[in-house]
Chains A and B, each alone.
Chain A
Amino acid sequence: DIQMTQSPSSLSASVGDRVTITCRASQDINTYLAWFQQKPGKAPKSLIYGASSLQSGVTSKFSGSGSGTDFTLTISSLQPEDFATYYCQQYSSYPLTFGGGTKVEIK
């Protein structure tokens, strides 16, 4: 199975900050990488697929990059509604696997 490692596991940031989350795959996954946002008690929301393509209706303050084994999710200017947990997921091979999550909290 492909292991997905996210870092950091949590971070504290202020409104307006630029935030970057990293996801590393245990083997080459090309760009078969998705990012999801989840708020407490809510279903996940799809943000990005193909490592860098925004899902329909997702604001462009979210951006993704990377290929192979190293990927990043960047939030350009953190807003109160962005405080949540973010997950990466590889869909290069079965079983699909998620990273452990990065909790973004208010400083």
Chain B
Amino acid sequence: QVQLVESGGGVVQPGRSLRLSCAASGFSFSTYGMHWVRQAPGKGLEWLAVISYDGNKKYYADSVKGRFTISRDNSENMLYLQMNSLRAEDTAVYYCAKHKTWLVTDHWGQGTQVTVSS
């Protein structure tokens, strides 16, 4: 069965960097696009970024463009989110999600908490 397991979250100071990972299993990872989505405490869902199956297409939300980078390693079945210049407003649970078809989400990871605080 499809499994997506995020890791790499934690407490980080403003202005610092963090890299999130998403380990995928149970499906042919290299043939599906993937998303990152976050949820701030008590708030709704916010789409952050998408990457195509081969890594050649990437799109970002304006709120993270230029600060966050989505990438993947198909040989390791891993998805990444490099987060730089972190701000307090980046505090959230971060989810990776798998595409069913391009941009259509069918499976979600359990999430990893990121807290940006001095």
A residues with CB within 8 A of B: 1, 32, 34, 36, 38, 43-46, 49-50, 55-56, 87, 89, 91, 94-101
- Provide the main secondary structure of the chain B interface: strand
Interface residue total, chain B, C-beta cutoff 8 A: 22
Assess whether A95 is in contact with B105, with CB atoms less than 8 Å apart.
no
Residues from chain B with Cβ under 8 Å of A50 in the complex:
104
A-B contact count (CB 8 A): 56
Q: Which residues from chain A contact B109 at a C-beta distance below 8 Å?
A: 43
Q: Which B residues contact A (CB, under 8 angstroms)?
A: 35, 37, 44-47, 50, 59-62, 95, 100, 103-111
Inter-subunit contact A89/B44 (CB<8 Å): no
Contacts of A55 in B (CB 8 A): 100, 106
User: Are B45 and A95 in contact, CB atoms less than 8 angstroms apart?
Assistant: no
The answer to whether B108 and A43 have CB atoms under 8 Å apart is yes
> Within the complex, which residue of B44, B59, B60, B104 is in contact with A34, where a contact is CB–CB below 8 Å?
B104
Contact A46 B107 (CB under 8 A): yes
Is the beta-carbon distance between B108 and A46 smaller than 8 angstroms?
yes
